[in-house]
Amino acid sequence: MSTSDRRSDQGDTETTNRFVRHATLRQLQLLEAIVRLGSFTRAAEEMFLTQPTVSMQIKKLTETVGTPLFLHVGRNVEPTDAGREVYAASRTILRTLGDLETRLADLKGLKSGRFRLAVITTAKYFAPEILGGFCERYPGIDVSLKVTNRTRIIERMEANDDDLYIFGEPANAGIEVEATYLAPNPLIIVARADHPLARKPRISMECLARERFILREPGSGIRDSVIHRFAESGLQPNVRMELGSNEAIKHAIIAGLGISALSLHSLTLDWGAGRLAMLDVEGFPIERAWYLVHPKGRELSTIAKTFLAYAVDREPDIRAMLARTFAALRTPTGSTSAPQEDHCEPS
């Protein structure tokens, strides 16, 4: 070996030793999140840390590496060449540790271990119940539940942050996944119980298009399904406002601001307390479904496989819950008064 080669190897060893001595897994997790999310703020929110804490940790990691890791571009940040190299290494290290945790959990069987479930927002109405039953059956397992929107779920899946995911339309995830059918997720048209259309049968799409709609924000799976159903009839909904949560939409309906399309799951807990009714609209409910999903090719742990089987077995219970809600919403009992308008006749 030449003198220059020995010096190069010695330099590499010194760099590695410095990295091992001073860099932490937490810093690598933060860098991975910042690159993936494009923002220190969003990374801080995901990691449940303050932004100054995140900035301080990245500063320490930058000092360890010896060169800038990020460039500020407007309100966002982009990794430098060095940042991309550290990001790639971080992904490898974190994935390896995650796989190690899975193998160690398998050695312990179902007596202990950790299970991480992430679900899209609307699935929060039934996922905790399934997770609770699973915990009762396997009390030694430590579980976590993350509820967020579809975009963040896909980001978490790409980063292998969780063991399993619940959301609809897996074919549109943008990444290759393996999906197992879990339960139905019907979308219905909901109005205030005293709405003039509440007791009309076979409401046409043309009639519905004249109503003031409250929809979820752009990118929502529910919104996309509703827009597509109107488009099939050559129509567009009359969107009065956009809101970012099902609860906000229900309150807006009760306040008389319009009607909306909601997952039947979002009404299972209180059925709208008698103040909401399901409209009998041609082409509705839109039959969608929930799936248990994980990245294609990823080996599931014994715990994750056990939860998947347990959750699928709960499908009849979910159907029964939806049937009760469906029946309740078909018989509106609201007594508040609303201004009577000239509405179209049923087709």
For 171-194, what is the mean pLDDT? 89
pLDDT band at 334 (very low <50, low <70, confident <90, very high): very low
Q: With bands split at pLDDT 50, 70 and 90, how would you rate the model's confidence at 136?
A: very high
Nearest to 156 by CA among 42, 254, 285: 42
Half-sphere exposure of 306 (CA within 13 A, CB side): 20
On the question of pLDDT at 338 being above 50, the answer is no
CATH topology assigned to domain 109-182+290-317: D-Maltodextrin-Binding Protein; domain 2 (3.40.190)
How confident is the model over 247-270, as a mean pLDDT? 90
- For the stretch 236-253, what's the b/e string if a residue is b when 16 or more beta carbons lie within 10 angstroms of its beta carbon? ebeeeeebeebeebbebb
Coil, strand or helix at 332: coil
Tell me the pLDDT of the chain averaged across its residues.
84
pLDDT for 288 beyond 70: yes
Max CA-CA distance within the chain?
92
Nearest-angstrom CA–CA distance, 55 and 35 = 13
> What pLDDT, in 10s, does the model give residues 155-182?
888 888 899 999 888 877 778 899 999 9
Is residue 79 within 8 Å of 69, Cβ to Cβ?
yes
**Which tens digits make up the pLDDT trace of 143-153?**
999 998 888 88
Stronger pLDDT, 3 or 258, i.e. the higher one: 258
- In this predicted structure, the answer to whether residue 4 has a pLDDT above a threshold of 80 is no
Percentage of the chain surpassing pLDDT 70?
85
pLDDT tens for 72-100 read 877 788 999 999 999 988 888 887 877 77
Task: Work out the pLDDT band at 14, boundaries 50, 70, 90.
Answer: low
pLDDT of residue 196: 92
Q: 339 is written with which tokens?
A: 């201004």
Q: Please tell me which of 3-17, 111-125, 240-254, 323-337 the model is most confident about, judged by mean pLDDT.
A: 240-254
Q: Where are the domains of the chain?
A: 3-94, 109-182+290-317, 187-288+324-329
Model confidence at 333: pLDDT above 90:
no
Helix pair 25-37, 81-108: axis angle to 10 deg: 120
187-288+324-329 in CATH: which number? Answer: 3.40.190.10
At residue 96, the pLDDT reads: 80
Lowest mean pLDDT: which of 1-10, 93-102, 188-197, 301-310? Answer: 1-10
Residue 326 pLDDT > 60: yes
| pLDDT for res 23 | 79
Specify the fold of 3-94: Arc Repressor Mutant, subunit A (1.10.10)
Q: Does the pLDDT at position 28 exceed 80?
A: yes
Is there a shared CATH topology between the 109-182+290-317 domain and the 187-288+324-329 domain? Answer: yes
CA 279 vs CA 190, 228, 231, 262, 296: distances in Å: 6, 19, 19, 11, 39
Residue 72 has a pLDDT of 83
Query: Average pLDDT for residues 11-21, to the nearest whole number?
Result: 61
